[in-house]
A and B are shown apart, each in its own frame.
Chain A
């Protein structure tokens, strides 16, 4: 990291604490965001020459608070009917004037502010895509242009989405508070789903791409870590962190030198991040201890990811355990992709013919490149090369992304027809 990038990272990470507390004290998400943004710009302008202050968070807090009060004074000077709608419940401008931010606030209070922000961003009254955008904007501190790039939408679209979400928070008065223990079971899944979605939307930057892409996978891991610190008792939070760590640990081996995807079976496992896998293993063990024997959906997925990430090779993977885990997962959710993955595992445990039979029992995936590619692989192993070629040709046509299309086309090319 260059000093400039490091400085920007410090400002971004400290900024979210500052933002979370400022929202509570000024009661207005947009105003707090603007103030923190201005404080960050001021920091990046002055710190390189004046030096990084002893306590960067305190510096940012004081600066952002002053900017916010300036904005409020300007707002108050305008005629009443022009003032923006934007007060969060329970906060009046009078209380803002009275309440000074105590720099010595204990860290538990600051953590509570972050949790308030987490649950406000992920409130069920907001659309999922708005939750994701808000989480990346406020909790991860990404700017609108970066979020728009990450989700491949125009910046104006993303800006509009964020404006609408903030307006809904203000007008419908979505509260800025941590749910009670009784409410947590219904509120936590949305938070976990937002972080999981950010991870699964992660697009690895393709080679030679000059545009700096936001690393959504790293952002998701960072957010899961934050949730783990804020809610250390929640087993599913730890399971999600384990799942994301197991998956992201494989990243160095996921693309080849040409930027094409490499299947799990063919990945060079020496290139995986084994420190991350060890951390994930510890997280999962802790999650199991705290869950009291009842595995939540993320724990199930983390166990599956663990089977793959801790296996010495593809053939030496614990397929019976994987099949048992998929059986459990399928008993909760009838997602046909789970059945597809289970069928692939059956093929590894019992041979290609059994795998093919399991694949043929799945009827819902005729339009999926994955299903046709899995059939092609089973047929190839049974030396039915013409059948395999036909399936690969269909899969190439159905592949959703260009790198996947290239991968399938290469496999088709490498498979010679039966004589």
Chain B
């Protein structure tokens, strides 16, 4: 029996702390474990006995990269529990702040974390020495995303202007118009990003994923729509717990999610694109076609192109919202506490984010459940490794390790959200 052991103590360019174990015997991968050893963070317990109105600010603290997603899932779930729907300009402003988050988070991942894999650099700093103009383009693009969040959220990281029912303060039309010129330049940079990433060299692989994402009603989804899958699932957020389950696994402090009937599934850009590509803006759709994506992309290495397309869409959508913006009469709608349970799923940059809250009659939170995208994607990430690594077992240790790391980075996992470093241990059996 031939076997080999490789250990990597830290996986770079991912969000959070974790490890990977890969065991191979006689040239066949036997086991892959994506270990998350970041301590549990107990946010669901922190929320108990706090007022419903505190959830957006508490949950925003789960992630410094995608706080808007946590705020949006929280406010939608609370509004669901309180029996109100926020519409009109306030809904548009929520889509706009989500555009900001997709732009900044995706651009960070595309340029600083993922692109070095394809261009053969150790990281963004090494890449910047040879491609300064490209890295500057990425930084400029990211900055525009941050500026949207700063304007609507009060600050760039952990925004403080989002509330259940709307916002504390809504922007004046002229404030949004000031973003417009920067966004037009950002849209050009986003289009250049799609073309740049489309030119990378990708492994010719596909996976038979069950894609899970919100399906918008003719609209590329941020916060609204039914939870759909490529294998026929079509449910309201309130039905999530009936169809999905989370399980503890020994090797991870983050729970693993699965579809009860079928097992692993994938959320994130590939899933959103597969279920909603027809709803992209014409410019984003055209760029996706030009990049060769088709209507479904099942090659996780090509997710970098899909992220770039989503950044282009977010720039386009932000411009549309700004062009049509009418200042709302009030920054938020009135709410009356009541007992009830509320559910919501929204689309964080790296995947679907589910929140459920049970409220007491006085508006205090009796119970909270939060299922972050990385928990949902962990089993699929392990299956990616198991599927792809077989073809790489003949590679030298450093190359094999790099391929495995890249396979994980394809899904931009946010380990901090899910429960922070990744250690990689490859055991080839001898």
A binds B: no
Give B contacts to A, CB under 8 Å: none
Give A contacts to B, CB under 8 Å: none
